[in-house]
């Protein structure tokens, strides 16, 4: 099966400065286990980008927060080379943001999801 490359190394999210190892340690301390979903780091980077886009495209009028949705899209359209935990993130003309990294893993025991993190047989990392 293939999925995200889970070898994050020392890359940090450029907005928060947080590294995967720090976030995983904090998660384990809080919940007593590692995240079940393989795409947790993607979600972290995506949420950070979305919050930055909202901040850049919003204003307050009195006590109201006005978020310009076209401004959010414009901000995300301009993302290129953003340093995320998952690597350098860029958004294309279709609004798809991400990195072109995948890993192929050998996974023989469906009852052991953690095994997918250690049986990498091929990595595509252009």
How many folded domains does the chain comprise? 1
Give dist(CA 86, CA 4) in Å, integer. 9
Q: Which domain holds residue 88?
A: 2-124
Is this prediction's pTM over 0.75? yes
Class of residue 85 by CB neighbours under 10 A (exposed 0-12, middle 13-18, buried 19+): buried
User: CA dihedral in degrees (76, 77, 82, 88; nearest 10)?
Assistant: 120
Tens of pLDDT, residue by residue over 27-86, are 999 999 988 887 899 999 999 999 999 999 999 999 999 999 999 999 999 999 999 999
């Amino acid at each position: 099966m293939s999925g995200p490359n889970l070898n994050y190394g020392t890359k940090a999210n450029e907005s928060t400065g947080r590294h995967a190892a720090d976030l995983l340690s904090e998660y384990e301390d809080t919940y007593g286990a590692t995240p079940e979903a393989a795409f947790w780091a993607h979600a972290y980077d995506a949420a950070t980008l979305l919050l930055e886009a909202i901040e850049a495209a919003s204003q307050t009028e009195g006590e109201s927060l006005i978020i310009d949705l076209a401004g959010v899209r414009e901000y995300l359209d301009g993302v290129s080379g953003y340093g995320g935990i998952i690597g350098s993130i860029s958004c294309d003309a279709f609004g798809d943001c991400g990195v072109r990294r995948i890993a192929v893993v050998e996974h023989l025991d469906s009852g052991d999801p953690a095994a997918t993190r250690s049986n990498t047989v091929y990595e595509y990392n252009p």
